[in-house]
Structure 1
Amino acid sequence: MLPSFLIMLREGIEAALIVGLIAGYLGRTGRSAWLPAVWVGILLAVALSLFVGAAVIALGGQFPQRTQELFEAIVGAVAVVFLISMVFWMRKAARSMRAHMEHDIDAALTESRAPVWALIGMSFFAVARDGLESVFFLLAIFQQNPGQGAALGAVLGVVIALVIGYAIYRGGLRLNLRRFFRWTGVFIILVASGLAGSVLRKLHEAGLWNHLQQPAWDSSESLPITSVAGTVLNALFGYQEAPVLGEVIVWAVVLILSLWFFLRPMPAPGGTHVEGSA
């Protein structure tokens, strides 16, 4: 429940911030009449995300067992790529997001031949990116944890994100977004690393990967996956009580490289280094 809650909370706040920037700038510049185009773009993005999710679920349910394992491995790999790219995109874009959005809005309304469609496209692509990332992550999580907890966490995360986003837009809440995105980014990297290890396991179950299958350790007596701590660690980070060597290597490589690039200082435009802004 917690991984789906935190990631949907982050995704929701990220999308709400972008939409809030667009709506707020239109309001400040006396162009609120264009807001319906923004909402149309948002609704289209949500519809696309739901359609893709339903299509992927329907497609995967038609496969035989081994093909199903391969399909789950592909979904997991896409989720890992989306999650890692998400935290790095926000780390890079956060410092100049407002200026870029305002410039794009001005260009859409003054230079575009069809400003309505330009605004629809801006809001659509901003929300669709987060929506599609969320779809593949949730599908990967649901495959590992088929109970209702993951779905409940996702819904709760979206609802709270909408409330926080609206409060920030109205000026009634001040959130340290730099710290929020930084620490949720670290958490997402941990989750993505666990998913990466599970991708290799699915490829083995599909009969496509049979290397490095010797056990790395066996903690079934000290920390069984059926215990409370083991269940929590499995739900959060894909913990396995007896992982094979290949899974551990993939997990360690994704985790170490991602954290190193994510936490290192970002180069400033002048060539100096500044602390990461995610």
Structure 2
Amino acid sequence: MLVPFLIMLREGIEAALIVGIIASYLRQTGRGEWMPAVWIGVFLAAALALFVGGGLELVSAEFPQKQQELFEGLVGLLAVIILSSMVFWMRKVARSIKHELHESLDAALAGSKNQTYALIGMVFFAVAREGLETVFFLLAIFQQSEGASAPIGALLGLIIAVGIGFAIYKGSMRLNLGRFFRWTGLFILVVAAGILANSVQALHEAGLWNHFQTVVFDISAILPMDGPTGSVLAGMFGYQDAPTVSVLTVYVAYLIFALVLFFLPQPRVVSLPTRPAHAHGHSSSVTNK
């Protein structure tokens, strides 16, 4: 439950932050009448994410066993790629995302004959990115979990993220977004290593990868995967009590490479001034990360 909860919380806050920045800027610049277009973009993006997630889940349920393993492995690999790029993208643009959204918003509303559609499209693509990232991650987690705990955790994370996003927008909460995304990004990389290891195992069970299958060690007698602690570790970090050479190598290699990149110092970026507001408005409580 904890992994889908934290991921949904992070992705939900990220999406809420984007919407909050857009809404605050529209309000500050006297363009609050465009808010219905913003909500249309948000709802369309959410509908797309639900449609894609539900469709993939229904389709995969009809697959025979080997095809299900293959699907699980491919979805896991895609989830790792998306999650990794998400973490490093957010780390790179955290300081400039507010300015970039303001520029995109001004461009969408500047002189276009179809301003409403331009704004809906801009919000849709910004939010849909977060939604589709979440869909592929949750698919990988749900396929590697049993019971209702994972969906419940994801739902709780979404509910809390919406509440936090609304509180940030209204100004009643100030969240250290830089620290939040840094620590959740680190957690995501560890989770992604486990998903990658499980994907390699799924590809083996699908008959697609049969190399380096020697078991490195077997601690199933000490910490079995089907025990209380083992099942928690397996659900959170992809723990295996008898990993093969390929599974362990992929896990360790990815984790080392990702953590080295994560802790490399970021190049200094000169922050650009935000264009002044066109009309009166109170200052936004959404802070740069």
TM-score, normalising length: structure 1: 0.95
Alpha-carbon distance, 1:62 to partner: 2.3
Aligned counterpart, 1:234? 234
Aligned twin of 1:53: 53
Equivalent positions of 1:258-277 (< 5 A) are: 258-269=258-269
1:70 to 2:87 alignment? no
The structure richer in helix per residue is 1
Structure 1 residues 30-84: Cα deviation after superposition (integer angstroms, max 9, x where no partner): 1000000000000100110111011111221222221121111111111111111
CA distance in 1, matches of 2:226, 2:64: 28
| RCO comparison, higher one (Cα < 8 Å, 6+) | 2
Aligned residues: 272
Structure 2 unaligned residues grouped into runs of 5+:
271-287
Q: Name 2:149's counterpart in structure 1.
A: 149
Q: Can you list the C-alpha shifts for 1:203-261, whole angstroms capped at 9, x where unaligned?
A: 11111111110011111122122332212111110101111110011111111111111
Q: Which residue of 1 is the match for residue 210 of structure 2?
A: 210
CA distance in 2, matches of 1:73, 1:26: 43
Q: Deviations over 1:133-161 (max 9, x none)?
A: 11111111111112100000000000000
- Determine the structure 2 residue equivalent to 1:274: none
- d(CA) in 2 for partners of 1:113 and 1:45? 23
What is the deviation of 1:97?
Answer: 0.7
The AA in structure 2 aligned to 1:24 is S
Q: Structure 1 regions of 5+ residues with no counterpart?
A: 271-276
Counterparts of 2:8 and 2:187 in 1: how far apart (Å)? 12
Partner in structure 2 of residue 36 of structure 1: 36
Which residue is 2:223 aligned to? 223
Which residue number corresponds to residue 112 of structure 1? Answer: 112
- Greater displacement, 140-149 / 53-62: 53-62
Higher mean alpha-carbon deviation, 185-194 vs 256-265, is at 256-265
- Whole-angstrom distance in 2 between the partners of 1:36 and 1:147: 38
The alignment-based identity, stated in percent, is 56
Give the secondary structure class of the aligned counterpart of 1:242.
coil
Separation in structure 2 between the aligned mates of residue 256 and residue 112 of structure 1, nearest angstrom: 48
Q: Which residue does 1:169 correspond to in 2?
A: 169
The match for 2:283 is none
Query: Within 1, Cα distance between the matches of 2:198 and 2:76?
Result: 8
Which residue number in structure 1 is paired with residue 134 of structure 2? Answer: 134
Which stretch has the larger CA shift, 165-174 or 112-121?
112-121
The aligned counterpart of 1:91 is 91
Distance (Å, rounded) in 2 between the aligned partners of 1:177 and 1:140: 26
Q: Give the aligned CA root-mean-square deviation in angstroms.
A: 1.3
Q: Find the aligned partners of 1:43 and 1:226 in 2 and give their Cα distance.
A: 40
Name segments (4+ residues, structure 1) moved above 3 Å: none
Alignment match, 1:4:
4
- Paired residue secondary structure (2:257): helix
